[in-house]
A = this chain, B = another copy of it.
Amino acid sequence: MNYGWKTERKFDIIAIGRACIDLNAVEYNRPMEETQTFSKYVGGSPANIVIGASKLGLRTGFIGKISNDQHGRFIEKYMRDMGIDTSNMVVDTEGHKTGLAFTEIKSPNECSILMYRENVADLYLTPAEINEDYLKETKILLVSGTALSRSPSREAVLRAMSLAKKNEVKIVFELDYRPYSWASADETGIYYSAVAEQSDVVIGTRDEYDVLENVIGGRNEDTTNYLFRHTPSIIVIKHGVDGSYAFTKAGATFRGHAYPSNVLKTFGAGDSYASAFLYALIHNKDLETALKYASASAAIVVSKHSSSEAMPTVDEIERIVNVNV
């Protein structure tokens, strides 16, 4: 395959959106009320995806706003140490805090998250903080759905997309739908569909596409009929343990299967999936292979305690892919 990447560009992926803190219960398999200790990790879907991509050897950057405190500084340093370019991570000057996610793991099937997302720094990124020269240097702009949930972050993303299109940067839209971030389902549908229509690749779960289309129990066929009338050329729809599908505008369909895993928790599955899928695309692997890499990466992360730290290497992924041929 040849996806036509602009090979001369400095970055493979620049992500835009939130970088936050996960506080994971150290004592798990119990309600959080009984947890005494929490471990701190970088979190947030687009941050996790570039961390994963960077660990796979891709050249990555990040556009986002971080708090002017110990949590913000921890995030920036961790990402920089992971090889991600953080030159466009803006430090908030208005006292906004880093978003927090306390994770509770009662059992592999019962995970929940207690979110602190009130006036968080990431949602205060402004259009004026988007740098066209930076965007020119990347093959892919990865847009995270949650960054659309509030102004001015919403407008910053719209501005970044407009500049990306102007500079022939491919836009990958990871739906990353978090209901608590949004004012209403109507608003979500309006911005999700507007952004998806202008993206080259869209990745999400079946439930997330339902939100985008403002339907209940939507069908993949309707989704692809709708979106392929617009910009997208690849659409990925995930069905949890039933695997996932990649559709192309040309009419091809590929199915990926979930790999067996010793599941500890479900957090981080989607982010690791996306990072490995994009790794495969950047390396011009075919979509069938890309789905395998994505599923393998997800299988690894759900067996571990964190989302970001647990991101696998290429070797770890390929071992699973090759074993399960």
Contact = CB atoms under 8 A, between A and B. Distances in A.
Interface of A: 23, 26, 31-33, 35-40, 69-71, 73-74, 77, 97, 100, 102, 104, 114, 116, 118-119, 126-128, 151-152, 155, 158-159, 162, 183-184, 186-187, 190-191, 193-194
A128 B32 contact: no
Given A104-B70, A155-B186, A33 B77 contact: yes
A261 B123 CA distance: 45
Contacts of A190: 127, 155, 158-159, 162
B187 A155 contact: yes
Nearest to A77: B33
Contact of A70 (B77, B102, B118): B102
Contacts of A116: 97, 100, 116
Nearest to A71: B114
Contacts of A36: 39-40
A184 B152 CA distance: 10
A66 B151 CA distance: 25
Copies of this polypeptide in the complex: 4
Contacts of A127: 184, 186-187, 190
Contacts of A155: 186-187, 190-191
B118 A97 contact: yes
Contact of A118 (B32, B40, B119): B119
A85 B293 CA distance: 56
Contacts of A70: 31-33, 102, 104, 114
A53 to B, nearest CB: 24
Closest A-B pairs by Cβ, 4 of them: A32-B70, A127-B186, A118-B118, A33-B74
B39 A37 contact: yes
Contact of A159 (B26, B38, B186): B186
A37 B40 contact: yes
20 contacts: A23-B23, A32-B70, A33-B77, A36-B40, A37-B38, A37-B39, A37-B40, A38-B38, A70-B102, A100-B116, A118-B118, A126-B186, A151-B187, A152-B184, A152-B186, A155-B187, A155-B191, A159-B186, A162-B190, A194-B194
Nearest to A32: B70
A116 B119 CA distance: 11
A74 B186 contact: no
Nearest to A150: B151
Contacts of A23: 23, 38
Contacts of A184: 126-127, 152
Contacts of A35: 40
Nearest to A97: B116
Nearest to A129: B186
B158 A32 contact: no
Contacts of A104: 70
Contacts of A102: 70-71
A39 B39 CA distance: 9
